[in-house]
Structure formats: structure tokens, C-alpha cells
Amino acid sequence: MILAREAYENFMARHPRPTHNNRGEPRWAGSEAEKCLKQDMQEGKHFKSNGDRLTPAEFRCLRPVYQEYLLSTIRSHIDQEIRLKNYHNFLELEEKKKEDLQKKAIARARKRQPPPKND
């Protein structure tokens, strides 16, 4: 195990992660922009006061850190966060349905059992 760790550290020392992608943008993973986008989306800043969504161009203007990225990059990450939120909502709904079915099954089983006999 130690040899594998040493090999990994040696490889990483010789091949550091690039700081920018092929479009010249800073790496998204772990960036300040990623943290800000997740926070802004959670706080609902991607909505206007009337309930409509901001366009990606409008959202990109919210913070200077977003300006380092292309509009298409910001758009795809906004969409990704929305899809992730929808998926989490779906999982919560499915879990609730499953719990409800289990409760109903338990209630039906209790109704079917005869009452205990008192001698």
C-alpha cells in the first residue's frame, strides 16, 4: 500500500492538475465560482422578484467571479444545479411514497388479525 501511495504522489508531483481548461477558463471543480453558484442557487438568487428565472447572462452579472467563465459554462452549471435539485426532490417524494405504502400495509395487516381471545 505504501508503494502505491508513493507512486501516486510521484505521479502527481510530475503531472500537476491544470489550472485552466482547454477554453482558457479556470478549473470549475473546487473553484470559488462553484461555491458561489451553489450558494446563490440555494438562496434563490436565480429568480427575479416576479418569480421568473434570471437569464444566464443576468445571473452571470451577479458576481465578478462568474465573469471568468464563458456564458455557456455558467448556463450549463445553472442547468446542472436545477437538475440536481429536481432529482433530490424526486428522491424525497419516492421515499415518502414508499413510507406511506409501508404504513398502509401495516394498517391493513393489523385490521386482518383477529383480536386476542380473553379466557
Does residue 5 form part of some domain?
Answer: no
pTM of this structure: 0.74
For residues 32 and 15, give the distance between their C-alpha atoms in angstroms, rounded to a whole number.
23
pLDDT digits (tens, 9 = 90+) for 22-47: 899 999 999 999 999 999 999 999 89
Does residue 11 belong to any structural domain of this protein? Answer: no
Considering the domain boundaries, does residue 115 fall inside one? no
Q: Could you please report the per-residue DSSP string of 49-65?
A: TTSPBPPHHHHHTT-GG
Q: Cell numbers for 27, please give them.
A: 478549473
Q: Is residue 2 part of a domain?
A: no
Question: Quick one: the chain helix, strand, coil %, rounded to 5?
Answer: 65, 5, 35
Question: Cα separation of 32 and 13, whole Å?
Answer: 24
Question: What was the pLDDT predicted at 86?
Answer: 95
In a domain, 42, yes or no: yes
Query: What total number of domains does the chain contain?
Result: 1
- Identify the band that residue 110 occupies on the pLDDT scale cut at 50, 70 and 90: confident
Let me know if residue 7 belongs to a domain: no
Q: What is the mean pLDDT of residues 40-62?
A: 92
Res. 119: pLDDT tops 70: no
Q: Does the residue 55 lie in any domain?
A: yes
Range of the structural domain that residue 80 is part of? 26-110
